[in-house]
Structure 1
């Protein structure tokens, strides 16, 4: 597995985990009404958006590099 393929998989997994954690944090806020959970959820969701932009620009920059 090349460094590009590993990076792609690692970023995709990070985006997925960040999305799940963000949704969990926001849903947990609705049950407990603790502001810290809402903040963690929103920050996590913003992080997943940021990582998505990073992934887009990474793929755009390294489109000429093979996955092997």
Structure 2
């Protein structure tokens, strides 16, 4: 497995786990009466998920343009 392939697989898994964590935190926030910490986790996971998607798009664009060896 090349380093590029490993990086793509790692980014997909990281994005999926971040999304699942955010969904879990959202469910816990809806269940609890004092969910300030869970709300912070939802916001943080959402931000990380968006940043991972932006980085993944940038990385795939670099690979497509063959600027990354």
TM-score, normalised via structure 1 length = 0.88
Question: Which 4+ runs in 1 deviate beyond 6 A?
Answer: none
Equivalent positions of 1:1-68 (< 5 A) are: 1-33=1-33, 34-63=35-64, 64=66
Gaps of 5+ in 2: none
Q: Which has the higher contact order (CA 8 A, sep 6+)?
A: 1
TM-score, normalised via structure 2 length = 0.87
Gaps of 5+ in 1: none
How many residues align? The count is: 66
